[in-house]
Structure 1
Amino acid sequence: MYPVSNAFLTAVKANTRKYYWTGRITTTAETVYEFDQDDMVKGSGYITSQCCGSTEIELGTVYAAEMGISLFSEINRYTLEDAKVELFYHLQVASGSYERIPMGIFEVSEANRKAKCLEIKAYDYMVRFEKAFTSLESIGNAYDFMVLCSTACEVTLAQDRATIEAMPNGTENLSIYSDNDIETYRDVLFYVGQVLGGFFVINRAGELELRKYGNTPVLTVERKHRFSSSFSDFITRYTAVSSTNLRTQIAEYYALDPDDGLTMNLGVNPLLQFGLEETRQQLCTNILNDISVVNYVPFDSDTIGNPALDLGDVLQFTGGQADSNKVSAITSFNCKIGGKMTLKGVGKNPRLAQAKSKNDKNISGLLNQIEAGRIGIHTFTNASAFTVTDTDTKIISIQFATSEDNHAQFFGQIIVDVDADAVTKTATAEGDVVIPSVAVDEPEPVDPDNPEVIGNTEEQTVSVSLPVSWSEDGEAVVHFIFEFNEQTVDIHQPEETWHSGKHTILLYYPIENVVANYTNTFNVYMRVTGGSGTVAVGGCVASISGQSMGADAAWDGKIDLEEQVTRFQIGGNLAVRSFTFTDGWEIDELVKREYTDSKSGRSGIGGFAMPVDVNGSNV
């Protein structure tokens, strides 16, 4: 409730009151137009605001308030784009003076000129947060995220750091992972509001303010102050919260004892995904403690109006059908300028929702990205090159889950550079050699006692046999094995026989009987005999597709560490210069079946950072 004097509270409850409204329009060119109630078309002005939907209490909401009014004014409507509109309510108190309270600051979204008046529709600064969120990964406490949003969207914060950090979960470090459904700064505020157990509004000064539900009434509304009213016959109260863990895909359930009320479903909050299990439990328990104060009777009432009332205010109704021992909270209002003020408080019936909430706590949480009937596709690409020989080597590993029992399909394409072992071959070359006949004329003998034997020879055929050997490119056999949930698929194992060179193979396997809400793992192993096969970076692509599916991103096996040490002193005047320590580790999980880690680089040891070369590996 906006702070007002006791004289104001007395005057606003009187049978008659004297009041009037004024306003101010400030254009982007800093031109100011003042107007009063005589400039307003009677019955045209209103202010509406809400912090929940139409059926139940919500956490983290970021609704924008709306203002509409028609003025007898000749203001150029084209100058009103993004103009600022301020409204004020003036009430005469017992002393005869008027007490003024602000009713909010709004920015013009529409200005329509009619024959005799100017129609204006405007919204508060909450719409400024409807701006694309550009930070993929962030870390900090709740106030850090609030500062990030307010700075980017040019809206002042109503609370300081000490106030926010004094709240439960206010000092906890929160992280946003890169794969999330955050699109705007308004989404960030929604998740921050959930963590803090409240909701965000733009207050009357145009500042972003976090509010929480309470149980202490700020005002009593008597029967004579109501034109009409309706009260539910049940009390809305919460005794449990449910939050989906994206990593385990389980809806974690935290409850009070006895657990006989409603369950507040937080869904998949990106700020609640990192950290230890104990930290997550503490965060959700603090949220439960905040929401457990809700013990409201839903209502709907037309009242004489009290413009000092705000969203989240707890009221006590007396007289008529109201139960004076119960309280209600304002979750929406419609304030008519010069007319009635409609107040409303929503809430679910615990008796009707109990069966559903008790069933939800035993069911695995479904991710926001999973929608029944929608086809989900999750891909895999190798981040490092690897060489496969005659050992079964895991080359593809995809984890996935579905929200219902169905089937999925695996597709893969692998480009393999095969180096087949050379093969030596031997053979025997056989054939006949023909020696032709020779005819020579007989000369006169030089020595009659020793004549030369020269004469005719006959044609002869000689059989020849020679051993021959040579080396040529061999053939490598490439074998693939599918494994689903640690069970090898024996009936279908693709195999190819290739010579040296680059080859492409397409893999396919239908995955039947996928169990719902269970983490499934599909692996592909590769083995090469008669040579080796090398797959370059990005040479192995695969996907699993199916209905109602979710998957976790794969870790690339790399850990990078960096530590910076500033200048410091030892003893008296001995100073050590600043230095940086950088280290890197890589685990080749998809290359060998045994565990292997390797470390290299220069590591600083000792106070003076003496570099020491470290090379080697542990197997």
Structure 2
Amino acid sequence: MYPVSEAFLQAVQGNTRKYYWTGKITTAGGVEYPFDQEDIVKGSGYITAQCCGNSEIELGAVYAAEMGISLFLDIDRYTLEDAEVELSYHLRLASGAYETVPMGIFEVSEANRSVHVLELKAYDRMLRFDRAFNGFETIGTAYGMMALCSTACGVELAQTQAEIEALPNGSELLSIYPENDIETYRDVLYFTAQVLGGFFCINRAGKLEFRQYGETPVMEILQKHRFSSSFSDFVTRYTAVSSTNLRTQTSEYYALEEDDGLTMNLGVNPLLQFGLEETRAELCRNILTALSAVNYVPFDSDTIGNPALDLGDVLTFSGGQADAQQITCVTSFTVKIGGRQSLKCVGKNPRLSQAKSKNDKNISGLLNQIEAGKIGIHTFANASEYSIGETDVRIISIEFASKEENHVQFFGQVVVDVEAQAVEKSTQASGTVVIPFPSPGSGAAGNAGTEDGSSGMEAEAGDAEDGAAGEETTDISVDVSLPVTWTEDGKAVCYVTFELNNAEILLHHPVETWHSGKHILSLYYPIENIVPNITNTFNVYLRMEDGSGSVGIGDCIASISGQAMAAAAAWDGRIDIEETVGLFSVGGGLQGKSVTDVIAVETMELVQKSYSDTLTAKPKIGAFCRPVTLPVSGDSE
């Protein structure tokens, strides 16, 4: 329940009350249009919200609240795209003062205009989480998952990290792997709320709030406060949970000691698929502990209304056919502006659950559905080093097959250690040099002119020092221009060539320019119109100019992924042989480039195979004035 004063609770249950509604429309541009009770078309406004479906209690609910209203306002409906509407309820207390209760913030989805009336339909910020989830591998606590969704969708969190970690499973690490059926951030919230044993909703301040089902009543609704009501003759309670484990292809069952109630089926929760078996069991039992608080009598009632009531509030009813000893919960409500408030609690009869199996292990149909849309992937990692030079070197080769005609995607990442050719550069350096030059007739120059050499010899040492210190100099500036030459690191150019089924792809040739050092080369190519049921080969070649490069073992990783891909491509009996012959000369005049020789053997065995060949006779080339002996060797592993 929204926190209100005791005077409010007394006034809202009185035989008569005085109240009014106000609101404000704020456009995306920041323009505000306030309105009051007189601007609202009578009987047009409503707010409806729910945390469960129409038949049973749910865990992980992420329902959006809806608001509709008609206003006597002259506002251009085209300016209301992405506008927000805030509503407030004002109740007069016994003291004569009015207490205000905010009723929520809603974002306009439809705006219709008639001659005098503007009709609005809006939803709360839960719809923001309908954005596509990136699907990346994610590991974190429940609060981390909430913060991820909050940041990506622009909705603040109502609770702190400490508050979430204090909940059941709140401090446990949860994992999301790419193999899941999560499509939106709203799905992430759904599975996170399941793990925490509750549901998510948007509170009155527009923030994402997690709530649990409780056992403590917040208020009592008397018979005189109800226009109509209907109560079930059973109590909905849960004593077990079941969760599907895809790894073991079973539905695991966890129950209390006295298992005579309903079973909550958690389905295939991606956050409960990984980790130790003990950890999974502990998570499910914590969920069961939180769920065991559900002990509610389903009901449906029209009341005089208390706008402070929220989803998940526990109530008691007394008078008439109500049982004052039992509790119930608000799983949905509808507030009419200026009218009644409808409250509802859903639930199933535990006695009817005995007719169905609680531990259904036959999930083959579910698995078949997952398998039909499963993304297949073929990966590659180099097991040998590559030296990149002026000729094309194949660094990636992936064989794949598809069961049906579709398209796949190639991704690759290569770490290349580049050594660029040094570049010599020169220029002309100019500047001014200052040279100090002694002035004529001073210091040593004056002593040199003394005719009496003996008197100079008899001079005291102190006089000589004074003479040296007293010399005068003149600075002379000289313009100097000198040639300067230096060597610096150059730039190597790397060319990428894609090849599909021995046919070069001409439309796309990535090029990178690098200085010396290690660099990451990221590659991508979409492959369209794959012919089904045949083996396809995708190759990637590298060559470099103005330098050389090397790719170490394991520094090249790549994959091809797509739907309906075969688990493995069968060997079609083809053997590819390449030969390498070192650089040689013929008669000192003709030269030939090196040729690569590689014999590849593909088997299904996890062992290394080696092959070698030896020529007993050395081949010779004639007709060049004299025979030329060629060195030949072959060895492949």
TM above 0.5, yes or no, is yes
User: Is it true that 1:207 corresponds to 2:171 in the alignment?
Assistant: no
Query: Contact (CA 8 Å) 1:82, 1:107: kept in 2 or not?
Result: yes
Residue from 339, 359, 362 that aligns with 1:361: 359
Count residues in correspondence: 410
User: Is it true that 1:259 corresponds to 2:259 in the alignment?
Assistant: yes
Measured after TM superposition, the shift of residue 371 of structure 1 is 4.3
Change (3 A) 1:155 1:380: closer
| 1:332 match | 332
Which SS does the other structure have where 1:167 is aligned? coil
The amino acid that maps onto 2:244 is T
Q: Deviations over 1:525-545 (max 9, x none)?
A: xxxxxxxxxxxx999x99899
| 2:165 match | 165
Q: Percent of pairs identical after alignment?
A: 65
Change (3 A) 1:193 1:590: farther
| 2:96 match | 96
Q: Deviations over 1:316-362 (max 9, x none)?
A: 00000000110110000010000000000000111112332xx2415
Measure, in 2, the Cα distance between the counterparts of 1:93 and 1:323. Answer: 30
Query: Contact (CA 8 Å) 1:240, 1:264: kept in 2 or not?
Result: yes
The amino acid that maps onto 1:108 is V
| 2:440 match | none
Residue from 592, 615, 619 that aligns with 2:605: 592
Measure, in 1, the Cα distance between the counterparts of 2:211 and 2:255. Answer: 23
Query: Contact (CA 8 Å) 2:373, 2:563: kept in 1 or not?
Result: no
Change (3 A) 1:309 1:594: same
Measured after TM superposition, the shift of residue 31 of structure 1 is 0.7
Measure, in 2, the Cα distance between the counterparts of 1:506 and 1:8. Answer: 75
Change (3 A) 1:30 1:249: same
Measure, in 2, the Cα distance between the counterparts of 1:293 and 1:376. Answer: 38
Measured after TM superposition, the shift of residue 382 of structure 1 is 7.8
Q: Deviations over 1:343-391 (max 9, x none)?
A: 00000111112332xx24152445755449x9678868585899xxxxx
Which SS does the other structure have where 1:44 is aligned? coil
Structure 1 unmatched ranges of 5 or more:
387-395, 397-408, 411-504, 508-536, 546-550, 553-588, 597-619
The amino acid that maps onto 1:151 is T
Measure, in 2, the Cα distance between the counterparts of 1:384 and 1:101. Answer: 62
Which SS does the other structure have where 2:311 is aligned? coil
Q: Deviations over 1:93-112 (max 9, x none)?
A: 11000000100000111110
Which SS does the other structure have where 2:217 is aligned? coil
Change (3 A) 1:311 1:380: closer
Measure, in 1, the Cα distance between the counterparts of 2:170 and 2:307. Answer: 31
| 2:54 match | 54
Measure, in 1, the Cα distance between the counterparts of 2:135 and 2:100. Answer: 42
| 2:17 match | 17
Measure, in 2, the Cα distance between the counterparts of 1:106 and 1:379. Answer: 42
Query: Contact (CA 8 Å) 1:267, 1:368: kept in 2 or not?
Result: no
User: Is it true that 1:221 corresponds to 2:221 in the alignment?
Assistant: yes
Which SS does the other structure have where 2:96 is aligned? coil
Change (3 A) 1:92 1:73: same
Q: Deviations over 1:245-280 (max 9, x none)?
A: 121111111000111111111111111111100000
Which SS does the other structure have where 2:266 is aligned? strand
Measured after TM superposition, the shift of residue 116 of structure 1 is 1.6
Query: Contact (CA 8 Å) 1:201, 1:208: kept in 2 or not?
Result: yes
**TM-score with structure 2 setting the length:** 0.60
| 1:108 match | 108
Change (3 A) 1:337 1:370: farther
Measure, in 2, the Cα distance between the counterparts of 1:365 and 1:253. Answer: 14
Structure 2 unmatched ranges of 5 or more:
384-398, 405-532, 536-557, 569-601, 610-637
Measure, in 2, the Cα distance between the counterparts of 1:193 and 1:338. Answer: 34
Q: Deviations over 1:217-251 (max 9, x none)?
A: 10100000000000011110000001111211111
Query: Contact (CA 8 Å) 2:239, 2:261: kept in 1 or not?
Result: yes
Task: Note the 1:525-540 alignment, pairs <5 A.
Answer: none
Measure, in 1, the Cα distance between the counterparts of 2:376 and 2:39. Answer: 63
The amino acid that maps onto 2:24 is R
| 2:249 match | 249
Which SS does the other structure have where 1:54 is aligned? coil
Measured after TM superposition, the shift of residue 135 of structure 1 is 3.8
Change (3 A) 1:590 1:322: farther
Task: Note the 1:301-312 alignment, pairs <5 A.
Answer: 301-312=301-312
Change (3 A) 1:146 1:379: closer
Measure, in 1, the Cα distance between the counterparts of 2:153 and 2:563. Answer: 41
Measure, in 2, the Cα distance between the counterparts of 1:318 and 1:277. Answer: 46
User: Is it true that 1:65 corresponds to 2:65 in the alignment?
Assistant: yes
Measured after TM superposition, the shift of residue 115 of structure 1 is 1.8
Which SS does the other structure have where 2:300 is aligned? strand
| 1:320 match | 320
Query: Contact (CA 8 Å) 1:62, 1:186: kept in 2 or not?
Result: yes
The amino acid that maps onto 1:350 is P
Query: Contact (CA 8 Å) 1:268, 1:367: kept in 2 or not?
Result: no
CA RMSD in angstroms, aligned pairs only: 3.2
Measured after TM superposition, the shift of residue 591 of structure 1 is 3.7
Which SS does the other structure have where 1:218 is aligned? strand
Which SS does the other structure have where 2:339 is aligned? coil
Task: Note the 1:377-396 alignment, pairs <5 A.
Answer: none
